[in-house]
Chain A
């Protein structure tokens, strides 16, 4: 049992619990979906861990399937938040198209069993661009917002940290397989740090959302 508990699925579980507590009564579709997404994320991570550590099976195909869920959810979130300032349909459609093409290319070129690195890189670049665009619109907007308690802002901050912070590890994934301990590659440690940042910001964003709903802001 201890074997399947990893730092990543622990932080995901905490985030899922916070999401259930804070967003269960939310009427917005996006925040409701956030609970489902966190449940899928935690399940995927745990099942992948079981496959790898207990049954010693290759689990990359599961992560490859998960990429579809992750890209859809993050795209939807950014679409929803960008929509508060502009019509994001064109850029979201273009971005989603690029991600889909990369996924098909990855699938065609090396099948489901090998990690879809091109899709991961393309998605990361697109999400960073979306995130920066969101901040640009936020700055350009005449109204000020209480950043400290603005759920949309902290959600996008989490996305930016995760995808921008993961740039190096994504770009040099093939060449930088450096083992820094007896059991794990450097990539694993960096992803734990990125996951910790992402789910911490998202957890805080869920708390802010609950506060926003309570105060009818």
Chain B
């Protein structure tokens, strides 16, 4: 009888302990899962911080590019026009009224041209906020600046004016990508024809830039991780989950196709 009571006692105690152990394991599991969740949230926050800092960097680069363009315009265009105006005005001989009249007329014409150029510059200065008007306008502004150099034959098809959706952060990055590609063409490609196509399809934005320059070895350049801002282009495209397809052949030129989920 005594033995039977002990057995029953042991059984109840053991069963109760097992039932008490289950919440313990549950708490351990919840704790581990919560820790995992915490790590995930911290990782997400870090990624967001990285993204934000990259956006800021991109914004600064876009501003830099704008300033450079303005400086070039002031020096090469407006500056030259005003110098010429000054020279013309200095050479006026008031005794020869006929010639003086012509020179004043020329000076006025140069001045109105300068004013026109300055107005164009003012537009470029607004370029910093240009993405606010949509990516289509931002790209158009960039292309119009390029066309003004007169160094390239441009073939443009920009279908992004009527895109109903927008993503300001992505717009800024896309604009910067285009700027970097154009910079590379100007600096390295020795191209004469540039073809730019942009369009929006199936919630994806496509940016295609084709030129007829000297080309380069893409694999080698990518492996070396040097120059031409290729790494920066790759990094930014990865950041917005985009894809880059680059084909380059010596003496034929380079074609870049960028595909970005949008918005």
Interface residues of A in 142-180 (CB under 8 A from B): 142-145, 147, 157, 160-161, 164-169, 172, 176, 178-180
A186 touches B13 (CB 8 A): yes
Residues from chain B with Cβ under 8 Å of A180 in the complex: 9
B8 touches A176 (CB 8 A): yes
Question: Cα distance A135–B15 when bound, in Å?
Answer: 23
Min CB distance B86 to A, Å, is: 67
Residues from chain B with Cβ under 8 Å of A197 in the complex: 20
State the interface size on chain B (CB cutoff 8 A): 22
Question: Cα distance A197–B27 when bound, in Å?
Answer: 14
Min CB distance A199 to B, Å, is: 15
State the interface size on chain A (CB cutoff 8 A): 26
Given contacts A161-B23, A164-B19, A165-B20, contact A144 B34 (CB under 8 A): yes
A178 touches B8 (CB 8 A): yes
Is B60 on the interface with A (CB-CB < 8 A)?
no
B41 touches A165 (CB 8 A): no
Min CB distance B19 to A, Å, is: 5
Is A33 on the interface with B (CB-CB < 8 A)?
no
The 9 A-B pairs with the shortest beta carbon distances in the complex, nearest first, are: A144-B37, A144-B38, A165-B20, A168-B15, A160-B23, A168-B16, A161-B23, A165-B19, A178-B9
Which positions in A face B, CB cutoff 8 Å?
135, 138-139, 142-145, 147, 157, 160-161, 164-169, 172, 176, 178-180, 186, 190, 193, 197
24 pairs across A/B with beta carbons < 8 Å? A138-B34, A139-B33, A143-B41, A144-B37, A147-B30, A147-B31, A157-B23, A164-B19, A164-B20, A164-B22, A165-B16, A165-B20, A167-B19, A168-B12, A168-B15, A168-B16, A169-B12, A172-B12, A176-B12, A178-B5, A179-B5, A180-B9, A186-B9, A190-B16
